[in-house]
Amino acid sequence: MSNHAAFILASYLAAFVILGGLVIASLSARNRVRRELDQRGLAPRGSAPRGVDRKR
Amino acid sequence: MADLHFLANPARFRRFSQRVLPGLGFATVLMLCACLYMAFFVAPADYQQGQTVRIMFLHVPSAWLSMMGYALLAGLGASLLVWRHPLAALMARAAAPVGASFAAVCLLTGSLWGRPMWGTYWVWDARLTSMLLLFFLYLGHIALSRAYDEPERGDRAAAILALIGVINLPIIKFSVDWWNTLHQPASVTRLDAPAIHNSILVPLLWMAVSLLFLFVFLVLLRTETEIDRRRLENAAAQEEGAPA
């Protein structure tokens, strides 16, 4: 991809890190908040994160 | 319009986003994969930029989305200040980091394109500087909304900043026409036909659509989280205020 390949790949890598990092951070924040809501018994129906047993 | 009012209620919005998010996430991943294939294997090299035109498939849509995200922040700010819309503050908190991320992608990819094409990573020309200012406005919005113990005060301060900062959007758009800049003038969003060949324009527009899907996915997901977080904070405040 010519001698500019480093710039092209660095651009896509930077975008992947920034946007992928934001997706991962957003998903983990949602799971953390839902788990906390569930522990307090405040979780709306159908929102329990995976691995949380509501019956306990 | 009636549908949007229907979503003004946080609980209804939450149910809506839970229905939409899985399909939207799946469609986003599929479209991004297809667009990456188009960007690397279908689109030809540009006769002037050569292979570096592939950076434009990220740079241009990121610029559009970061500006669109700030317009959304301003609309939400107005909605909060004028109508005290219950969802506006939460959605603004959710959207600001997403817009800031797209602005960061735009600045970084532009810089990486500039080095081989202009011979420098950065110049203080009007387009680049106003785009950097947009990124700082996003950071200011994020910092202000979290700066107060009472979240409502932070939300109002951030809404005022969003409304003041919206003046930067036409400056970004028309900076290449108003001043003599190193950045090239608009080549897609022109009143006459785009100045790009279809073989490059089509992948560019598809990438813009798939990144728009990602933008909407992230804003919905983060708004849902903000609604839940506000519930937690309200519950904690009630527990603190309750007699022992």
Percent of chain A clearing pLDDT 70 (strictly above): 73
Sequence-ordered list of residues with C-beta below 8 angstroms from that of B3, at least 6 positions apart, any chain: none
Percent of chain B clearing pLDDT 90 (strictly above): 66
Task: Evaluate if residue A56 carries a pLDDT over 50.
Answer: no
Percent of chain B clearing pLDDT 70 (strictly above): 92
Task: Evaluate if residue A52 carries a pLDDT over 90.
Answer: no
> What is the Cα–Cα distance from B175 to B87, expressed in whole angstroms?
34
Average pLDDT over residues A21-46: 87
- Asked if B139 and B192 count as a contact pair (C-beta separation under 8 A), the reply is no
What is the per-residue pLDDT for B72?
96
Task: Evaluate if residue B141 carries a pLDDT over 70.
Answer: yes
- Asked if B162 and B143 count as a contact pair (C-beta separation under 8 A), the reply is no
List, for residues B85-132, the tens digit of each pLDDT value. Answer: 879 999 999 999 999 999 999 999 999 999 999 999 999 999 999 999
Task: Evaluate if residue A49 carries a pLDDT over 60.
Answer: no
What is the per-residue pLDDT for A46?
54
pTM of the model: 0.90
What is the per-residue pLDDT for A53?
44
Per the structure block, which two tokens stand in for B200? Answer: 């490059």
List, for residues B164-205, the tens digit of each pLDDT value. Answer: 999 999 999 998 888 887 787 777 766 566 677 888 899 999
Q: Which of A3, A47, A16, A31 is nearest to B105 (CA)?
A: A16
Sequence-ordered list of residues with C-beta below 8 angstroms from that of B21, at least 6 positions apart, any chain: B217, B220, B221, B224
- Number of Cβ within 10 Å of residue B61's Cβ equals 25
Per the structure block, which two tokens stand in for B21? Answer: 């998010």
Task: Please tell me the least confidently modeled range out of B9-13, B174-178, B185-189, B222-226.
Answer: B185-189
| 3-state SS class at B46 | strand
Average pLDDT over residues B60-86: 94
- Number of Cβ within 10 Å of residue B172's Cβ equals 20
Per the structure block, which two tokens stand in for B111? Answer: 């810089």
Task: Compare CB distances from B218 to A12, A22, A42 and report the shortest one's residue.
Answer: A22
- Asked if B216 and B59 count as a contact pair (C-beta separation under 8 A), the reply is no
Task: Evaluate if residue B138 carries a pLDDT over 50.
Answer: yes
Task: Evaluate if residue A54 carries a pLDDT over 70.
Answer: no
What is the per-residue pLDDT for B44?
85
Chain A positions with Cβ closer than 8 Å to B: 1-2, 4-5, 7-8, 10-12, 14-15, 18-19, 22-23, 26-27, 29-30, 33-34, 36-37, 40, 42, 44, 46-47
What is the per-residue pLDDT for B147?
92
Average pLDDT over residues B131-138: 97
Task: Evaluate if residue B22 carries a pLDDT over 80.
Answer: yes
Q: What is the ipTM of this complex?
A: 0.89
What is the per-residue pLDDT for B237?
80
Work out the minimum CA distance from B161 to partner chain A, whole angstroms: 23
Per the structure block, which two tokens stand in for B53? Answer: 């035109």
- Asked if A16 and B39 count as a contact pair (C-beta separation under 8 A), the reply is no
Backbone phi, psi, residue B50, to 5°: 65, -140
Please report, for chain A, the start and end positions of each structural domain, with discontinuous segments joined by +.
12-39
Across the A:B interface, residue pairs with CB atoms under 8 Å apart total 84
What is the per-residue pLDDT for B227?
92
What is the per-residue pLDDT for A51?
45
Give the best residue of B13, B90, B108 to mutate against chain A (max A CB count within 10 A).
B108
